[in-house]
Structure 1
Amino acid sequence: MKKVLLWLAITLLILSGCAPSLNNNEDEVVEKENDTKQPEKSIVPSYQLSDENYRTILPYRTSSSRGVITNQVMNRMDIGEMETGLRRLSKAYYDPEKYFFEEGQYLTSDMLYKWLDRNLTKDQVEDALNKRVEQIEKSGKEVDEEDKEAIRKELQLGLNPAIADDESKKQQKENPKYLTHILEHNFLKKNEDNTVELIGASIGIAMKSDYAFQTEIGGPTYHKKIDKKTMLKKGKQITQTVLERVRKIDGMSDIPIMFALYREEEQGSPVPGSYVAKTQVSGGDMTIGDWETVNEENILFPSDEGEKKYYDQQQLINDFSNKIQEYFPNYVGVIGEGFYVNEELQKLTLEIPLEFFGKGEVIGFTQYTYGLIQEMFQNYYELEVKIKTNKQMESVIYRDAGDKDPVVHIFDK
């Protein structure tokens, strides 16, 4: 187990800035309904990491669609941003000081895989229906017209466009898969009788910016770029259908729901995509009204986009990189990622890949980097600097927005 060395007597900053804020109350035991609608004991922790973080109820219940996102979203950067971004947007609707967070319990894996698939053409529906009926009848059961109609409806749950021939490059490009994933978050409140109940939900809809496909196994991979305007149009249509379906689920028929559209980055992108639009419907509403633009973005530094949109930040990182090279010439360069809201920098993450030959070298380099941060970087945004070798993290320098001095962690093997 790694020990953490705290350098430059910054222990007090860590204890005051990073430790959970404590309420005077002890952990509370509450009752909530389980899948059998019977009350079960749960614990509401008295610890809260900060006023901006949701508390969760224990024992922790994982999502009913656990694992779907890792199978559907190809860029690993998008997986984390989609989840953390949805929680971030939810705070405008569900106050972390009043409500508790729980992973989605209503949209199941089986349900999502059917929704995320392509729809079927009429001929494909009938072919699939005949095969299903044949399988059922082989088991000795009869299938009437009502059963067949139910099967037809089940076969047409896919929210991506239908195509007659998936080996046709033309059809694939004209009808790309737009929808990648649907992410559900639940928010609970504690009642006076010491029970908790669902008071609202947030649902993130992940949409592609680039559709990669093959027309034959082992064949070449083709790409279809999806512009933002088309993605928004399709995403809003899909969201309306999702709302109509969600309202039929027991427990979600009359709660407020916040929907947010997430635009993925390409599969190999070193930075994630971002949420681009959001809306909320009141409890019981079946129709989505106006959408609000979400102006968030993640920018890679150095890059052509970074230089074009945020020249000052890119130049700062270049200058920082040059200063490091004066001290340690055998490194490959600083990699930066800036998170912006309304074109204002909120968080800057810098990664410095190096090769060290001793712990003293790590400490000396970290000390030098710490000084550069104090000299060069303003403190109106969150800053995180990761110093790494090809094997592990060696040290981390972190400063929260508004703080004067950074916190340093040097990891000992």
Structure 2
Amino acid sequence: MRFKRKRLFILLFSFTFIFSGCSIWQPLENSKKQNEAMEPTSIIAPDVKVNEEYYRGVLPYKPSPIGGMLKELPRRLDSNKFELGLIEMAKNEYDPSEFVFQEGQVLTMNEIEPILDQYQDFLYSVVEHDYLHEDGTYGGVVVGLFVSSVYQEGETRKSYTDDQIRERSKEIANKILSMVRKKVTDPSILFGIVKAEEIDMKLPGTFILKGEVKEKENSIDDWTNIEESYLFLPAKGSSYNGSEGDISLGFNQLKDQLNEYLPGFAGLTGLARFVNGNLIELTINVNTEFDSTVEVIQFTQFAIALISKYFPTDSQINLYVQTIDQPKAIYIRQANGDDFVHIYRD
């Protein structure tokens, strides 16, 4: 079997469902909107059966008035992980089978811009997601804050401690809460705080704090610290312990085995996500060249078998196989064991 050898140095992180904002908005007329059904022209998108569980949306789609006009995040990867992380957080409170997703329609740019100006050295972005009942009334609101982990003191760049980040974030969240409650007084509200990664540009920001406001309450009494971290693979050095050490070792073994199967394949990179020290998700990117579709199938099957051997069975695994200019195969295994594979047909 002939094989085209090319050295490729590509870092490509693929994410399937991404929500992004725009600057178009039609304001809420008054606070009574929360108890009214959606306008007759609004319908709910059909429930499409997919392996991963996502919320249905409201049609026609309404972009958030605060989307796309805030401070730019350090990396596109941050935007993807930020919004998907907020949706993941919402699933614990708002069952996707009972609630419908809508980009935030409560907060406006006139309200958020002064907050951004006041905390311009700290606050990157604010995102709002709304979760509606089937009749269009508000069931919940999720607000995300993306904040900096560093600050400038004279000519010196210094880092905030996590405690300092949490305290400043709580202060901002309480101000935003009062804005939300003026318009929607009943539904529960969640706050998710993400700290930017300012040093290693290959890593996204991490969730460090979650706040909960119960129905009809006006204060955030329930704050929970979140210990989230990422590990870029292959990891440099050998100082990793626990789950990080196990995943790093497994990744290196996977790489060696794939190299034996297909000598000289160009590159294998990964991004592992941990919460409270446990592997939650692992994304693996294979970059190489293939002589035929059959070769893609055989390679992908071999990689899937190795994944089951080297990594925990209760973590989500995303495998993306691609050449320099096009995807070739995708394999997704969810934490519950459900999986699927797709081979692209040229």
What is the DSSP-based 3-state SS (H/G/I as helix, E as strand, rest coil) of the residue aligned with 1:412?
coil
- 1:234 deviates by 1.2
- 1:305 deviates by 8.6
Cα RMSD for the two superposed structures: 3.0
* Equivalent position of 1:54 in the other structure: 55
Q: Does 1:393 align with 2:337?
A: no
Q: Does 1:318 align with 2:319?
A: no
Identity of paired residues, percent? 28
- 1:270 deviates by 1.9
What is the DSSP-based 3-state SS (H/G/I as helix, E as strand, rest coil) of the residue aligned with 1:85?
helix
Q: Does 1:279 align with 2:211?
A: yes
TM-score, scaled to structure 2:
0.79
In 1, the alpha carbon distance for the partners of 2:238 and 2:39 equals 53
TM-score, scaled to structure 1:
0.67
- 1:266 deviates by 2.3
* Equivalent position of 1:292 in the other structure: 224
In 2, the alpha carbon distance for the partners of 1:340 and 1:306 equals 18
- 1:284 deviates by 4.5
- 1:217-236 aligned at under 5 Å gives the runs 223-236=157-170
Q: Return 267-276 or 303-312, whichever deviates more.
A: 303-312
User: Aligned pair in 2 of structure 1 residues 212, 352: CA closer, same or farther (>3 Å)?
Assistant: farther
Letter in structure 2 aligned against 1:181 = S
Q: Does 1:80 align with 2:80?
A: yes
- Preserved CA contact (<8 Å) 1:261 1:276: yes
In 1, the alpha carbon distance for the partners of 2:98 and 2:297 equals 43
What is the DSSP-based 3-state SS (H/G/I as helix, E as strand, rest coil) of the residue aligned with 2:143?
strand
- Preserved CA contact (<8 Å) 1:54 1:101: yes
Number of aligned residue pairs: 311
* Structure 1 stretches of at least 4 aligned residues deviating more than 6 Å after TM superposition: none
* Equivalent position of 1:201 in the other structure: 141
- 1:366 deviates by 2.4
User: Aligned pair in 2 of structure 1 residues 282, 53: CA closer, same or farther (>3 Å)?
Assistant: same
In 1, the alpha carbon distance for the partners of 2:230 and 2:199 equals 15
Structure 1 unaligned residues grouped into runs of 5+ = 1-32, 118-157, 161-176, 216-220
In 1, the alpha carbon distance for the partners of 2:336 and 2:214 equals 36
Deviations 1:84-141 (A, max 9, x none): 1111112222222222111101222344333212xxxxxxxxxxxxxxxxxxxxxxxx
User: Aligned pair in 2 of structure 1 residues 267, 41: CA closer, same or farther (>3 Å)?
Assistant: farther
What is the DSSP-based 3-state SS (H/G/I as helix, E as strand, rest coil) of the residue aligned with 1:201?
strand
User: Aligned pair in 2 of structure 1 residues 282, 403: CA closer, same or farther (>3 Å)?
Assistant: closer
* Equivalent position of 2:7 in the other structure: none
Letter in structure 2 aligned against 1:341 = V
Letter in structure 2 aligned against 1:371 = A
Letter in structure 2 aligned against 1:408 = V
Q: Return 268-277 or 297-306, whichever deviates more.
A: 297-306
- 1:381 deviates by 1.7
More helix by share: 1
- 1:375 deviates by 4.0
Letter in structure 1 aligned against 2:107 = L
Letter in structure 2 aligned against 1:286 = N
In 2, the alpha carbon distance for the partners of 1:256 and 1:371 equals 44
Q: Does 1:159 align with 2:92?
A: no
User: Aligned pair in 2 of structure 1 residues 110, 93: CA closer, same or farther (>3 Å)?
Assistant: same
Letter in structure 2 aligned against 1:64 = P
Q: Does 1:182 align with 2:126?
A: yes
Q: Does 1:412 align with 2:345?
A: yes
User: Aligned pair in 2 of structure 1 residues 355, 110: CA closer, same or farther (>3 Å)?
Assistant: farther
What is the DSSP-based 3-state SS (H/G/I as helix, E as strand, rest coil) of the residue aligned with 2:167?
helix
- Preserved CA contact (<8 Å) 2:211 2:222: yes
User: Aligned pair in 2 of structure 1 residues 49, 63: CA closer, same or farther (>3 Å)?
Assistant: farther
Larger Rg: 1
Letter in structure 1 aligned against 2:119 = L
User: Aligned pair in 2 of structure 1 residues 402, 263: CA closer, same or farther (>3 Å)?
Assistant: same
Letter in structure 2 aligned against 1:179 = L
Structure 2 unaligned residues grouped into runs of 5+ = 1-25
- 1:323 deviates by 0.9
- 1:212 deviates by 7.8
Work out which structure has the larger RCO, using CA pairs closer than 8 Å and 6 or more positions apart in sequence: 2
* Equivalent position of 1:308 in the other structure: 240
- 1:183 deviates by 0.9
- 1:35 deviates by 4.6
Q: Does 1:265 align with 2:209?
A: no
Q: Return 255-264 or 367-376, whichever deviates more.
A: 367-376
What is the DSSP-based 3-state SS (H/G/I as helix, E as strand, rest coil) of the residue aligned with 2:344?
strand
